[in-house]
Amino acid sequence: MNKFAFIDCTTVDEALGQLGDGATVKAGGIDLLDLMKDGIVSPPKLINIRNIGSLRGIASGNDGLHLGPLSTLSEIAAHPEIQKSYTALADAAGHAATPQVRNMATLGGNIMQRPRCWYFRSTDFDCKKKSGASDDCHAHTGENQYHAIMNNGTCAMVHPSSTAVPLLAMNAQVELTSKRGKRTVAMSDFYVPPEKSLLNETVVQPGELITGIFVPAPEPGTRSAYQKYGEKESFDWPLADAGVVLVMDGTRCRKAWIVLGVAAPTPIRSAAAEAVLTGNTIDEAIARAAAGAAMQGATPLSQNGFKTQLFQTAIYRTVLLAAGQMPRDPSSIG
């Protein structure tokens, strides 16, 4: 690990004043410290925002849910109103990593995680994500069983954030603050696919800091759920995950949002799956049809074709869980 300066900030203005010249923001530091120890990033200065009180807090009102970016995954998972009205978000936060990590990891850090790809995270490979070069993606011809099965033509990394999945399904917004002022970005516009930029994974610009996340209040009849599946039934990284938000009129679905997490380099909505559910009574046959529709256009690599079936299982079971027709799958990890 490289030598670095450590700056402890207690206000947003103080933190903004320290940004620049290669400085990196540290909150929980879970992913950042891994990247530093592995030599993937070498910031000369860490700006510790952990002690900025204004970036903490969870508030639920008539307009929706206001989340401080320093809210920990444990706090989100345990919050009664989030469990009740934003269930998928509580599910995602409560089944990420281990209890120790959830006590440290912040919401802002979780949605800003760097890609999961062993070529990117190894100093032994000159990955195109690190260099911005136009070389071939190593995963296309190498070991790729954990990589993307959709939108993987340029880069086959997967996005690791569990909370980004329900936040996208719930039409959340991210507040970004800089010395120039504040701006709000929809979660649907927050992530940058590799086709647009190999080096930028989000729209967060140099000099900007996440200062809030807002989730609009759900419509009456809204139900939601999130589940993930991996190799181990514990703290493993998911091989497939799904976030589902349904607006129900009895057993009939009026609106649907289905988001897949580790299927692609960014979390993605499945309009095809949502169309299958909308206007129909939710039962096992419809849930399976939606799951099959979600995999239309999948382009699995040489070793990860199994993920297409695993995603179908994750989607249809999570649809039924959201609709109240199936309990949480005990084989889902976390």
**What is the helix (H) or strand (E) element at residue 293, kind and residue range?**
helix 284-294
Q: Is 23 left (phi over 0), alpha (psi -120 to 50) or beta?
A: beta
Nearest of 166, 143, 155 to residue 228 by alpha carbon = 166
Separation CA 234–CA 216 (nearest Å)? 31
Tell me how far the alpha carbon of residue 156 is from its chain's centroid: 16
Q: Which pLDDT score is estimated for 135?
A: 73
In the chain, % of residues over pLDDT 90: 92
3-state helix, strand, coil in the chain (%, to 5): 30, 20, 45
26 and 32 in contact (C-beta within 8 Å)?
yes
pLDDT of 331 strictly over 90: no
Q: Which pLDDT score is estimated for 134?
A: 61
Q: Which pLDDT score is estimated for 232?
A: 82
- Structure-token pair, residue 245: 């938000």
Name the pairing type of β-strands 181-186 and 45-48.
unpaired
Domains of the chain: 1-54 (3.30.43.10), 222-322 (3.30.390.50)
For 131-158, how does the pLDDT look when each residue is reduced to its tens digit (9 = 90+)? 777 678 999 999 999 999 999 999 999 9
For 16-75, how does the pLDDT look when each residue is reduced to its tens digit (9 = 90+)? 999 999 999 999 999 999 999 999 999 999 999 999 999 999 999 999 999 999 999 999
Q: Which pLDDT score is estimated for 107?
A: 98
CA angle 153, 155, 160 (to 5 degrees): 125
Backbone angles phi, psi at 201, to 5 degrees: -100, -20
For 178-225, how does the pLDDT look when each residue is reduced to its tens digit (9 = 90+)? 999 999 999 999 999 999 999 999 999 999 999 999 999 999 999 999
Tell me how far the alpha carbon of residue 230 is from its chain's centroid: 16
How many other CB atoms are found less than 10 A from the CB of residue 299? 12
For 104-126, how does the pLDDT look when each residue is reduced to its tens digit (9 = 90+)? 999 999 999 999 999 999 999 98
- End-to-end, the C-alpha distance of the chain in Å comes to 31
For 294-318, how does the pLDDT look when each residue is reduced to its tens digit (9 = 90+)? 999 999 999 999 999 999 999 999 9
Furthest-apart CA pair in the chain: how many Å?
59
pTM of the model: 0.97
Query: For the chain, what is the mean pLDDT?
Result: 95
Q: Which pLDDT score is estimated for 333?
A: 82
Q: Which pLDDT score is estimated for 136?
A: 81
Sequence-distant (6+) residues with CB within 8 A of 191 are 159, 164, 201, 202, 203, 266, 267
Give the model's confidence band at 236: pLDDT under 50 very low, under 70 low, under 90 confident, else very high.
confident
Separation CA 189–CA 173 (nearest Å)? 9
